[in-house]
Structure 1
Amino acid sequence: MSWMPSNDPLLGDAQTCDALELIIVPRTRDLGDGFAVRRALPHGKRQMVGPFIFFDHFGPVQFMSGKGMDVRPHPHIGLATVTYLFDGRIMHRDSEGNIQEIAPGAMNLMTAGRGIAHSERTPDLQRRDGQQMLGLQSWIALPAGSEEIAPSFQHFGAATLPTVSDTGFTARIIAGSSFGQSSPVTMVSPWFYAEVMVEAGISVPLDPDHEERAIYVVDGEIEIAGDRHVGPCLLVFRPGDRITVRAISRARMMFLGGDALEGPRHIWWNFVSSSKERIEQAKQDWKTGRFAQVPDETEFIPLPE
């Protein structure tokens, strides 16, 4: 299938609604200080889309001068985190010694593997001046043979990620391959992630080659096979069907998915594993201080009781 967008209004009607398997309206949570989070995955009817096992949409939130986000050091196992910003900046620090300011449009992939701890805070300049924040955080569950790999961190600035654009259409390929382009990000299992911006009246295809696929509508209104969907929502599709998305209004979407994992995962707090026993071990490791510490950080989030 050609990746090229189209302004042909008939394209959105040349398919069946049967391709849409599930519509998830994310649950809204207030984490304090007016910081809103919308959680689409995991869901009662769907734990994962490909290896995507956690999908949070945070903001928009406005931090006033002197205020900011302070997520103290906390642990992960068995997953990789993807932080992707549309607005605002976050300072990432982890127990491997990585320090990275995350800016809009950049790809940040922290692979926890057998264990990592990290903090996420508002950088000093933005804390002084105040900032608006809007973005996504996703967890990528690792395949069974890679759950205990060494922790690592990858960062690619927005300018280094491939983009595809045409009239009324722009896509940034964050991970994997979409629209004929491939991200430089190294992955341990096949998955894809792309930010797609579409103006009203423009239609774009969702690649049918990926085993599991979804579209997260961040904002705007789209039409698929005559049915309209308003963001925020996660649309999960059956494998193999040709999907064409037509923007009713200007829309920002995330195309995502990949190969299904070999089985479900256990999730407890920030831990993901195919083994309940491994999660119990991780609980004790954090409680007793056996995780490596984040340099220059003295605070931490205690194990939930």
Structure 2
Amino acid sequence: MSGLLEPDGPVEMVILGRARDLGGFEVRRVLPFAQRRMVGPFIFLDQMGPVDFAASAGLDVRAHPHIGLSTVTYLFDGELTHRDSLGTEQVIRPGDVNWMTAGSGIAHSERTPAALRPGGTRLYGIQSWVALPAAVEERTPHFAHHGKTALPVVEGEGLRVRLIAGALYGARSPVATASDLFHADVAMEPGARLDIPADWIERAAYLVSGAVTIEGQAFEAGQMMVLKPDARIMVVAIATSRLMLLGGEPLEGPRYIWWNFVSSSKDRLETAKADWRGGRFGAVPGESDPLPLPE
């Protein structure tokens, strides 16, 4: 399924994830969407997998550039090795967070670790991009890894919420952010109820798996429910379900996106293109075949 639904009640719109082939690896793209470019500072969201790789295969995303954003990688299953032009090499596992702030420019790659390839492996997770406020778009690039045990977990009746970033339900994530936002991974058992507070102007819930209702309206896996401002939201699980909550305060102005670049300035996107063509982002150690600029 793909496209947009406009239900009544506290849900402003429903965005249906669209399949995208990234060179033999399929993702479900949710943001950006034609009728809804951002939710708070979140400007991009992909569901990766679930996919089972055959023996010797795996994900191989060659070195590529970013500006003006933070990439957020969060896995449910499998592992990835992150390498970047700062010299970072970091394996991410389920429940960990990789938060890479591109700022003025960074290049990175993501690959299935060599040790996992001989027996085949599985990959399943979410990657999102958070656009930076204009005042810090050109900040010095930075990479931060936070292990699973460092992230706070809030539990309730049939509920388990792991806070990826921001503050929610009395807990605060150690992940440093450049703007007011929230991001969480929610596991729900059938019959569990989740109250999503109206502390931010823009909020959304992406249903990774299962089925839920909001004010009696049913929603299914692969749908992002964009919530109305100030509306009280009560999510009820009608099956074992997993939700990604995200949102925050909107940025001070529009953002332009081209390939892997995000900026408040269209001219800055052109500069980033020229810099990648000219090899001015810096090399990623261990990578010899970077992705070319799209034509």
Q: Does 1:28 pair with 2:24?
A: no
Q: Determine the C-alpha separation between the residues in 2 that align with 1:259 and 1:154.
A: 23
- 1:212 counterpart = 2:212: no
Distance 2:197 2:167 in 1: 10
Pairwise CA RMSD of aligned residues?
1.1
Quick one: distance in 1 between partners of 2:118 and 2:147? 24
1:158 aligns with 2:122: no
Distance (Å, rounded) in 2 between the aligned partners of 1:38 and 1:72 = 20
Separation of aligned partners in 2, 1:181 and 1:230: 28
Report whether the alignment pairs 1:231 with 2:221. Answer: yes
Q: What is the DSSP-based 3-state SS (H/G/I as helix, E as strand, rest coil) of the residue aligned with 1:128?
A: coil
**Is this contact kept in 1: 2:77–2:124, CA < 8 A?**
yes
CA distance in 1, matches of 2:9, 2:158: 28
Q: Name the counterpart of 2:247.
A: 257
Indicate if the aligned counterparts of 1:17 and 1:225 stay in contact, CA closer than 8 A: no
Q: Tell me the percent identity.
A: 53
Q: Distance in 1 between matches of 2:99 and 2:42?
A: 13
User: Structure 2 CA distance, aligned partners of 1:179 and 1:249?
Assistant: 23
Give the paired residue count. 289
TM-score by length of 2: 0.96
Find the counterpart in structure 1 of residue 79 from structure 2. 89
Q: Is the 8 A contact 2:10 2:228 kept in 1?
A: yes
Contact 1:217/1:254 (8 A) holds in 2: yes
TM-score scaled by length of structure 1: 0.93
Contact 2:9 2:215 in 1 (8 A): no
Point out where structure 1 has 5 or more consecutive residues left out of the alignment: 1-15
Q: Does 1:304 align with 2:291?
A: no
Paired amino acid for 1:19: P
Where 1:285 maps in the other structure, the secondary structure is helix
Q: Is the 8 A contact 1:95 1:116 kept in 2?
A: yes
* Post-superposition CA distance 1:45-93 (Å, at most 9, x none): 1010000000000101101111111111000000000001000000000
CA shift, 1:128, in A, is: 2.0
Alignment counterpart, residue 68 of structure 1, candidates 58, 65, 87: 58
Q: CA deviation at 1:296?
A: 2.4
Higher relative contact order structure (alpha carbons within 8 Å, sequence separation ≥ 6) = 1
The residue number in structure 2 matching 1:10 is none
1:19 is aligned, of 10, 26, 49, to 10
- In structure 2, what residue type is equivalent to 1:276? K
